Amino acid sequence: MAIYLDHAATTPVRREVVDAMLPYLLEHWGNPSSGHSFGRAARAGLDEAHERLATALGGEAREIVLTSGGTEANNLALKGAAWAGKARGHRIVTSAIEHHAVGHTLRYLEKFGFETVELPVDRYGRVDPDELEAALDDRTIIVSVMLANNEVGTIQPIAEIAARVHRHRGIVLHVDAVQAAPYLPIDVAALDVDLLSIAAHKFEGPKGVGALFIRHGTHLLGQQQGGAQERHRRAGTEDVASAVGMAVAYDLTRAAQPETGARLTGLRDRLRDAVLAVPGVELTGHPRDRLPGILSIIARDTDGVSVSQALDLEGFAVATGSACTTGSPEPSHVLAAMGYPDEEARGALRISLGRTTTPAEIEAAAVAIPRSLAMLRMGSAAIAADPLGQGLTPGVAAGA
């Protein structure tokens, strides 16, 4: 039996979401920009998707821009706000643990004269609002801090950060909420953010669609030219079926969050206790202010890739960090920013639960994961103690 414990990477699409999408794939397949009946039927679904997403986020339909996912939403937010604000300043303040969709976008903007200030985080991965405010000056045009980290699950004090940012006139606050959206209720008014990104596939919606909330009055320069779609902010014929699916998925997710969050917290803590019982294993991220579905650890004297591969052979899908960095030889930039040396960061493992995770799956994982960790740590210790294999029986060290 295969057990999926990598919901932070992506989630299965709900049957209700597929059912909501099908009419826009098979019947109402017109171009929503067309004026005839086929186009009007598609436009009705698209308008409803905008309305539902806006209501769920606490905004207005005109403040929602559909994108191809969280990466594009982050790109549009940062590039659009940067170029729109270039006449006022060129400084962008962010944290050292942002997703690469933010970090790499800022590196790109630096090629055009923008300056990036990366704030440090504490051992738990949290930004200090006082340090953030101290980094703001009259050249600052954007602050970008994620709501919750995708690797360690730490939740940032966004409302407090927003209060500091908005003491300074003209600074736009962007929040990457892609990983937080499945687990936390999001109210853009309560958070007091100007830009906020989400992606459907993180909350049991289709891949390839996301949304950017743009507070009315926030200046943003469109980054994709061609047509007048999305109120001139994102050109291109909209994927109506995926937009409808995202809206339905988010409504279902929001409705279940209180129950799901409480249940996943209990399951996560059960697994946490079993895993931390293995010597040399340490919890990463904030012990309390963290997403209910993410358990992140470091297993010293072992390699997270080896652990994940061993577990895969046993039928358990877990990750070593962000899915966007899988295959990278470099240790996690998140753990490095949190103060973990490379040799420890290589022992990282991320186990992420979702709505469909069951107690039986967690009980099975609570046996398999500690066993794999303990066995691999014992193997690493044996190699360290006898690197040349001199303690092996004759012929074994030579591979006979």
4: three-class secondary structure by DSSP: strand
The neighbouring-strand residues paired with 154 are 290
Count of Cβ atoms closer than 10 Å to residue 397 Cβ: 13
Catalytic residue status for 324: yes
Helix (H, G, I), strand (E, B) or coil at 218: coil
186 CB-side CA count, 13 A: 30
Residue tagged active-site, from 324, 336, 364, 374 = 324
Q: In angstroms, what CA-CA distances link 295 with 7, 63, 78, 269, 282?
A: 11, 34, 29, 8, 11
E-assigned strands of 6-152? 64-67, 91-95, 115-119, 140-144
Strands 91-95 and 3-4, by their bridges, are: unpaired
Q: Cα–Cα–Cα angle for 260, 57, 130, nearest 5°?
A: 90
Give kind and range of the element (H or E) at residue 387.
Answer: none
Cα 170 to Cα 129, 144, 157, 390, 396, distances in angstroms? 18, 14, 21, 67, 69
Q: Which residue has the tokens 């929602």?
A: 64
Provide CB contacts within 8 A for 375, sequence distance 6+: 310
> ∠91-184-56 over CA atoms, to 5°?
90
How many C-beta atoms surround the C-beta of residue 387 within 10 A?
8
What ranges in 158-228 are assigned the alpha helix state H?
158-165, 188-191
- Contact 19/249 with Cβ under 8 angstroms? no
- Could you tell me the strand order of the sheet in which 115-119 lies? 64-67, 210-214, 195-199, 172-176, 140-144, 91-95, 115-119
Residues that are catalytic: 324
